[in-house]
Amino acid sequence: MLVVLLSVLAAAANAAGSVLQRLGVRTVPHGMRMSVPVLRTLVRRPAWVLGVAAMLTGLALQALALASGPIVLIQPLLISELGFALLLSGLAFGSRLRPREWAAVLSTAGGVALLLGALAPGGGDPSRASAGSWLSGCVLTVGVVGALVTLGHRDRHAHRAVYLGMAAGTWFAFTAALVAAMTDALGDGGVSALVSAWQTYAMMLAGPAGFLLLQSMLRAGRLEASQPALVLSNPLAALAWGVVAFGETVRGGAWIAAAAVAAIVIAVSTATLARSSLLTDDGRRTRDAEEGLVHRAATR
């Protein structure tokens, strides 16, 4: 139960970070790619800085969850982030969710519950992952993400956001695998084991890379294109890491069909949520809400 609570809190913190960062990113002229000058502009935006702090809080909560639960359980729970983002946007903009949006929030939660009930993930131990499994997983992840990023930057249409969303989701599952190994090392051997684990140093590179990838995704296009790709690719990649590398168990047989139905429900619900005007409106409504959102976040 504690694992579920920590995962949901992590999703809520990530949602706050996403809303705040998106407000900050919107102040940067469209068409500009992430670069040092752009980052210098962003660090002067209070909303963006608070968003980064919220994202780091979410990462810490996720690490606590990964220390005591399987990655196949935790990553799907993070799908609830979009629902939280919608609710937070409604509070920030002073708007109410419409019945269709409430239905999408509830159906997303139901889809996640069905997915986890069908898979019934359990077991697993990051320390059991062989060097070959880590090497294969790292090479495959870097290759897939590199290919998706390349496709995203070559495509100037809506597919660009989809490609970058898939890349970000796959990369975040990889960083979750690294964090799981780090927390396992810390629990088994203390700080000395954490310092000696290669995953600790890999995370020092993978974390900032994922951060920049997320910023690129936010700049690539509307959430209705990128967010479904992000939230579906993350648990799918996490499933591969958990089952293949960590030895986690999931149910097969007819339960796979139930899991597929759950994935479809989640995809449709996520697409509906991402089309909400609370997440896609630009212009004066966003600018008017920015100061109110920053003030509320700063006084909590």
pLDDT band for position 26 (50/70/90)? low
DSSP symbol at 78: G
**In terms of pLDDT, which residue wins out, 162 or 299?**
162
Minimum mean pLDDT range among 35-49, 119-133, 179-193, 237-251: 35-49
DSSP symbol at 126: G
* Per-residue model confidence as pLDDT tens digits over 34-86: 566 666 767 777 877 888 899 889 989 999 999 888 999 998 898 888 788 88
Considering only CA atoms, which of 207, 231, 221, 216 is closest in space to residue 15?
231
Taking the C-alpha atoms of residue 65 and residue 177, their distance in angstroms, rounded to an integer, is 12
Task: Report which secondary-structure segment, H or E, holds 156.
Answer: none
Is it the case that residue 294 has pLDDT exceeding 60?
Answer: no
pLDDT band for position 283 (50/70/90)? very low
Which residue range is the domain that position 119 belongs to?
A: 2-298
DSSP symbol at 98: P
DSSP symbol at 249: E
Domain total of the chain: 1
The residue whose two tokens read 């780091």 is 56
* % of residues, the chain, pLDDT over 70: 82
Mean pLDDT value of segment 91-111: 83
DSSP symbol at 122: E
Q: Quick one: CA torsion of 134, 139, 145, 150, rounded to 10 degrees?
A: 170
DSSP symbol at 34: S
Burial of 30 (0-12, 13-18, 19+ CB in 10 A): exposed
Is it the case that residue 296 has pLDDT exceeding 70?
Answer: no
pLDDT band for position 1 (50/70/90)? confident
Mean of all residue pLDDT scores within the chain:
82
Is it the case that residue 292 has pLDDT exceeding 50?
Answer: no
